[in-house]
Amino acid sequence: MSFLKSNKMKNNKLLLLDKGSVSQLAADLVEAVNNGETNPLEAYVAIKHMEEVCKLANKALKEQAIEEASKHGPESRDLQLHGAQIQVKNGAGRWNFKAIPEVVKAEEDLKALKERHKQAYKMSERGDQMVSEHGELIKPAGYYHGGEVIAVKLLK
């Protein structure tokens, strides 16, 4: 693909990309598509491949990057290096209520209540109304259509 010409590796050394070169790579790709040099679906799939490869590389380097940042001592909580703010911090904790029967029951009840209101919406789409076992009208839930998306699943 011609948009990669500006980012070839020199002397077989690993090319470290800064924001400018990554932005240029993206701009070159968009320009190649806009000029009819590259198929838009091919470009979109190529970007998906790049995302997956970057996720894997990010995961592989995470511990080493944390270790490197920690060498800066207390400053590792808020570094500014390589054109980025880098913070080493603990991730968000998570609450677990599975051992509390009252919470589990309340969540199940809420799920069932939401499902009734979803069904009321579906019935209202057909011109019907949903009524509870006590004869009360069940108000349809609000529904907002999402925008059109394109999903790409890479083949192994």
**Rg for the chain (alpha carbons), in Å?**
26
Assess whether pLDDT exceeds 90 at residue 132.
Answer: yes
Predicted model pTM: 0.65
Q: Could you tell me what percent of the chain has a pLDDT over 70?
A: 88
**Half-sphere CA count of 78, side-chain side, radius 13 A:** 0
* 110/87 Cα distance (integer angstroms): 38
Paired tokens of 153: 């699943």
pLDDT value at residue 5: 44
Q: What is the DSSP letter of 4?
A: G
pLDDT digits (tens, 9 = 90+) for 14-72: 556 677 778 888 899 999 999 999 999 999 999 999 999 999 999 999 999 999 988 88
Please state the φ and ψ torsions of residue 151, each to the nearest 5 degrees: -110, 130
Assess whether pLDDT exceeds 80 at residue 91.
Answer: yes
